[in-house]
């Protein structure tokens, strides 16, 4: 079982579109609503139709009611452009309490959600994780982030064909 990812030290290696996505995800940290954790996460996802949908983490005083930036962005993208493949998602984080010198990797629940969209679109969704120092961790497809994943296939309320 392998988890494949690689790091790029220089943003210039990425395509212009990807560099813009990274910049947007950084900006989105400033739009997070994270008064409880003071951990500000931004996400930006590029869709196949060229649209970019942005998200930031949204917290709530009833703690479990909040949502990570990645899911805010992915759910918004799917709500606004149903079925439109998500090609690349960039994720950045900023904190008042610590320096983010390691990339912030999507939590388990976000991996599960992103994977379902990736499987449905039958094309990879690339993930770009940034650090404050500037290096980018690249994961070519979500399935690399979630080996032995649960698949909701059998749950779909569709005729089995039998
Ligand atoms: N968070 C994200 O938005 N994305 C991640 O990948 C990790 C965690 C948020 C959730 C919560 O608002 C705060 O960061 C601290 O966990």
d(CA 157, ligand 1 centre) in Å: 32
- Going residue by residue through the chain, which has 162 residues, state the pLDDT in tens, using 9 for 90 and above: 778 999 999 889 999 999 999 999 999 999 999 999 999 999 999 999 999 999 999 999 999 999 999 999 999 999 999 999 999 999 999 998 888 889 999 999 999 999 999 999 999 999 999 998 889 999 999 999 999 999 888 887 776 554
Atom of ligand 1 nearest to the CA of 105: 6
Whole-number Å distance between alpha carbons of 149 and 129: 21
SS (H, E, C) 30-47: HHCECCCCCEEEEEEEEE
**Any idea where the domains of the chain sit in the sequence?**
6-10+26-149
Question: For residue 160, what pLDDT is reported?
Answer: 56
Is residue 70 flagged as an active site residue?
yes
Which amino acids bring their CB within 6 angstroms of ligand 1? Answer: 34, 37, 39, 41, 57, 59, 66, 68-70, 104, 106-107, 110
Question: For residue 132, what pLDDT is reported?
Answer: 86
Whole-number Å distance between alpha carbons of 139 and 6: 7
Question: For residue 36, what pLDDT is reported?
Answer: 96
d(CA 158, ligand 1 centre) in Å: 34
Of all protein residues, the one whose alpha carbon is nearest to atom 14 of ligand 1 is: 39
Question: For residue 67, what pLDDT is reported?
Answer: 98
55: which 2 tokens? 């998200």
**Sign of the C-alpha dihedral, residues 54, 86, 125, 7?**
negative
Question: For residue 33, what pLDDT is reported?
Answer: 98
Question: For residue 110, what pLDDT is reported?
Answer: 98
Map tokens 């994943």 to a residue: 149
Spatial contact of 9 and 72, defined as CB atoms under 8 Å apart: no
Indicate the pTM of the whole model.
0.94
Question: For residue 159, what pLDDT is reported?
Answer: 65
Of the listed 70, 116, 158, 162, which one is catalytic?
70
d(CA 34, ligand 1 centre) in Å: 9
Whole-number Å distance between alpha carbons of 25 and 4: 22
* CATH of the domain spanning 6-10+26-149, picked from 3.60.15.10, 3.40.50.10420, 2.40.50.140, 3.40.140.10: 3.40.140.10
Spatial contact of 152 and 114, defined as CB atoms under 8 Å apart: no
């Amino acid at each position: 079982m392998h988890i494949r990812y690689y790091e790029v030290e220089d943003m210039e290696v990425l395509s212009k579109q990807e560099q813009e996505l990274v910049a947007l995800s950084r900006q989105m940290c400033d739009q997070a609503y994270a008064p409880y954790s003071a951990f500000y996460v931004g996400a930006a996802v590029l869709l196949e139709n060229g649209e970019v949908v942005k998200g930031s983490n949204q917290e709530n005083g009833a703690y479990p009611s909040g949502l990570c930036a990645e899911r805010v962005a992915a759910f918004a993208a799917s709500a606004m452009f149903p079925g439109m493949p998500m090609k690349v998602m960039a994720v950045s984080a900023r904190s008042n309490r610590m320096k983010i010198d390691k990339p912030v990797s999507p939590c388990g629940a976000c991996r599960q959600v992103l994977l379902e969209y990736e499987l449905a679109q039958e094309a990879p969704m690339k993930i770009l994780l940034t650090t404050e120092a500037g290096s980018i961790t690249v994961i070519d497809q979500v399935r690399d982030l979630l080996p032995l994943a649960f698949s909701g296939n059998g749950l779909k309320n569709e005729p089995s064909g039998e």
